[in-house]
Amino acid sequence: MTRRKLDDRAARHDGAYRRAKAEGFAARAVFKLDEIDRRFRLLTRGRRVLDLGCWPGSWMQLAAERVGDEGLVVGFDLRPCEIGLPSWVHPRVGDVTELDAAALVAEFGRFDVVISDMAPHTTGDRVSDQYRSESLCRAALQLATQVLRSGGHFAAKVFQGGGFPALLTETRAAFAEVKAVHAEATRSGSREQYIVGRGLRRQA
């Protein structure tokens, strides 16, 4: 095994990873959503949540806890989630960039919150990876403006690159309050950011 593979394995199995597993969560990413939610209070009881890029399921697990059985969590990813989830959580297999917003609203009603932890399959080329991450974030933003109720909230991951200021501008055009957040649980050296929008100004 190469040194790089050993380093990658160590990063995946760091303290946050072990803590997530000990607490019954599918991935360490749960602590990023927990931090964002504690700061912005997105996942209150009874809310309806759409989780984009939901595999392996830790964000759905936390969202389900916070919204309770009076709420709803719907998740989409290219890969199926294979963990046990409560009855008010509905994981689906699908390409987020091809989702039909009108069909989602027809089936579930309008959502209160859209969250996205989507990331591209990285190539090692930073500029290319950042561009594709920004494209996924923009797709999440566009879908959010179509499926959220007026006043709804949004949070999405992005690898910060040259298109980041434009993404912030687009989010500010749709939401009353917008913040860029670098979560404390993010690994050292990462350019990962979360764009959080509160209070959708309008419905598409």
Name which of 121, 117, 144 is nearest 52 in CA terms: 117
pLDDT of res. 25 = 66
Q: Under a CB-based contact definition with an 8 Å cutoff, are residues 27 and 53 in contact?
A: no
Sorting pLDDT into bands at 50, 70 and 90, what band is 10? very low
User: First vs last Cα of the chain: how many Å apart?
Assistant: 51
Q: Looking at per-residue confidence, does 106 or 188 come out higher?
A: 106
* pLDDT above 60: residue 26: no
Q: What mean pLDDT do residues 3-30 have?
A: 61
Q: What mean pLDDT do residues 181-202 have?
A: 87
Q: Is 157 a catalytic residue?
A: yes
Neighbours of 26 (CB within 10 A): 20
> Considering only the top CATH level, what class is 27-200?
alpha beta
Predicted TM-score of the model (pTM): 0.90
Sorting pLDDT into bands at 50, 70 and 90, what band is 6? very low
* pLDDT above 80: residue 203: no
Single out the catalytic residue among 21, 32, 157, 179. Answer: 157
Using one digit for the tens of pLDDT, what is the confidence trace for 105-118? Answer: 999 999 999 999 99
Least confident range from 23-32, 46-55, 89-98, 133-142: namely 23-32
Q: Under a CB-based contact definition with an 8 Å cutoff, are residues 47 and 113 in contact?
A: yes
In the chain, domain spans:
27-200
